[in-house]
C-alpha cells in the first residue's frame, strides 16, 4: 500500500486535507438552494463511502509495504472495527450539526467556530509527547486558533437585525458540533496501527479504517439524520420519499461530490498521520476553518451586511489562523 515516507509529504497531504475539508460545504450551499440539507446529506454520506472504497482498492492495495486492503480488513479485530465505526458515528453527529449550522448561519460563522473548536479539542485529545518535537509551538499555534474563533464570534455580533438572531442559533449549534467533532479522530486513531509499514495484528491500516469509518457514518444516519427529516431544527420537514421524487441526477451527484471531497481529505489525513503524528496531522487538517471562512467571506459574501470597521477584524481572524497553522507545522520539524 502507499505509505508516506517524509514529513514534507505528510504536510502536503494535510494541506490537501485542509482544502478538502474547507471546501466540501460549497456543494451543500449549491444543492440546498433547491432541496433540504437532509436530502443532500444522504448523497454526501454515500460519496464518503465510495471514495474510501476507491482509495482502499487502489492506493491501499498497491505496493509491497504494509498490508493490502482485503487481507488487512479480514484480520481486523473486533475492538479495532468498533473504534472505527464509533469514530464514524461520532463524526456524523458532529457533522450533521455543523451542516445545520451552515444552513442557518453560513460558512463564515459555522466553520471557524465549529471546526476551530474541534481543532483545539482534537489536538489535545490526540497529543502524544513522543510524536511532537516542540510542544510549545504546537500549543501556541492552537492558542492563536482560539483567538481567531473569538474574533469570528465578535464579527458575527456586528451583523444587524434579524439575521444576527439566526446566526446566534447557528453559533450555538456550531459550538456543540465542534465539541463532538474534537473527539471522533481519537476513536479512528485507536483502530489503526501506528506503524503502517509493519502493522500490528488485529489493528488496521488507514485505508481499512477509512472504509469502516465510512460505514459507521452512513449507518448512523438512521439514528441522527432520519429524525431531522421529520422534525428539523429549522424549516419544513423533508420526507424520505422526496429523495427519489425531487432529486435530479445533478443534485445527487453534487451531494456525492461533496462527500468524495471530504473523504479525500480524511483519507489523506490519516495516511499522513503515520509520519506527522496524530495531533499535528489532525490540527493541520482542521485548518479547513481558514479555507471555509475564505469561501464564506469572499465568495458567498456572508459578512456583507456588517458595519464599517469589520474588515480589520476579518483580517486579524485570518492572520491568527495562518500564523497558528504555521506554528503547528513547525512544531514537528
State how far the alpha carbon of 199 is from the alpha carbons of 46, 55, 208, 210, 269, in Å.
28, 18, 12, 15, 18
Q: Find the radius of gyration of the CA atoms of the chain.
A: 19
Residue 307 DSSP code: P
Residue 58 to residue 51: CA distance in whole angstroms? 11
Contact 246, 92 (CB under 8 A): no
Residue 291 to residue 108: CA distance in whole angstroms? 10
Contact 97, 227 (CB under 8 A): no
Neighbours of 153 (CB within 10 A): 16
HEC per residue, 185-206: HHHHHHCECCCCCCCCCCCECH
**Residuewise pLDDT in 10s, the chain (333 residues):** 899 999 999 999 999 999 998 898 889 888 877 888 899 999 999 999 999 999 999 999 998 888 999 999 999 999 999 999 999 999 999 989 988 887 787 766 777 788 778 878 888 888 888 888 899 999 998 899 888 878 877 787 676 655 555 567 788 888 899 998 888 999 999 999 989 999 999 999 999 999 999 999 999 999 999 999 999 887 889 999 999 998 899 999 999 999 999 999 999 999 999 898 888 888 888 777 778 778 877 877 777 777 888 889 989 988 998 898 889 888 987
Measured at the CA of 95, the angle between CA 107 and CA 29, to 5 degrees, comes to 35
Q: What pTM was estimated for this model as a whole?
A: 0.84
Residue 59 DSSP code: G
Instruction: Name residues whose C-beta falls within 8 Å of residue 52's C-beta, 6 or more positions apart in sequence.
Output: 207, 210, 211, 213, 214, 263, 266, 267
> Which segments within 99-179 are labelled E, that is strand?
none
- All three cell numbers of 249, joined, read 441526477
- All three cell numbers of 200, joined, read 500490528
Which 3 state secondary structure label does DSSP give 226? helix
Backbone φ and ψ of 2, nearest 5°: -75, 130
Amino acid at each position: 500500500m502507499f505509505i508516506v515516507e517524509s514529513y514534507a509529504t505528510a504536510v502536503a497531504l494535510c494541506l490537501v486535507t485542509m482544502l478538502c475539508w474547507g471546501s466540501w460545504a460549497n456543494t451543500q450551499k449549491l444543492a440546498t438552494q433547491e432541496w433540504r440539507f437532509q436530502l443532500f446529506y444522504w448523497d454526501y454520506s454515500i460519496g464518503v463511502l465510495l471514495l474510501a472504497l476507491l482509495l482502499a482498492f487502489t492506493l491501499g492495495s498497491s505496493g509491497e509495504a504494509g498490508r493490502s486492503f482485503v487481507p488487512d480488513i479480514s484480520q481486523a479485530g473486533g475492538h479495532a472495527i468498533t473504534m472505527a465505526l464509533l469514530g464514524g458515528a461520532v463524526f456524523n453527529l458532529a457533522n450533521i450539526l455543523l451542516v445545520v449550522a451552515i444552513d442557518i448561519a453560513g460558512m463564515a460563522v459555522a466553520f471557524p467556530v465549529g471546526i476551530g473548536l474541534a481543532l483545539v479539542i482534537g489536538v489535545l485529545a490526540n497529543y502524544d509527547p513522543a510524536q511532537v518535537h516542540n510542544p510549545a509551538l504546537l500549543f501556541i499555534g492552537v492558542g492563536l486558533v482560539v483567538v481567531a474563533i473569538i474574533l469570528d464570534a465578535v464579527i458575527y455580533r456586528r451583523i444587524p437585525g434579524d439575521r444576527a438572531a439566526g446566526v446566534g442559533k447557528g453559533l450555538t449549534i456550531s459550538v456543540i458540533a465542534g465539541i463532538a467533532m474534537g473527539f471522533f479522530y481519537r476513536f479512528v486513531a485507536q483502530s489503526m496501527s501506528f506503524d503502517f509499514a509493519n502493522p500490528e495484528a488485529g489493528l488496521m491500516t488507514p485505508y481499512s479504517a477509512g472504509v469502516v469509518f465510512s460505514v459507521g457514518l452512513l449507518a448512523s444516519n438512521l439514528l441522527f439524520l432520519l429524525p431531522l427529516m421529520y422534525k428539523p431544527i429549522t424549516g419544513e420537514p423533508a420526507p424520505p420519499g422526496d429523495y427519489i421524487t425531487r432529486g435530479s441526477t445533478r443534485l445527487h451527484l453534487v451531494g456525492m461530490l461533496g462527500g468524495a471531497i471530504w473523504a479525500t481529505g480524511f483519507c489523506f489525513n490519516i495516511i499522513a498521520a503515520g509520519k506527522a503524528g496524530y495531533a499535528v496531522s489532525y490540527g493541520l487538517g482542521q485548518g479547513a476553518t481558514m479555507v471555509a471562512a475564505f469561501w464564506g467571506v469572499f465568495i458567498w459574501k456572508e459578512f456583507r451586511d456588517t458595519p464599517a470597521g469589520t474588515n480589520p477584524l476579518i483580517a486579524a481572524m485570518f492572520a491568527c489562523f495562518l500564523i497558528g497553522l504555521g506554528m503547528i507545522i513547525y512544531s514537528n520539524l
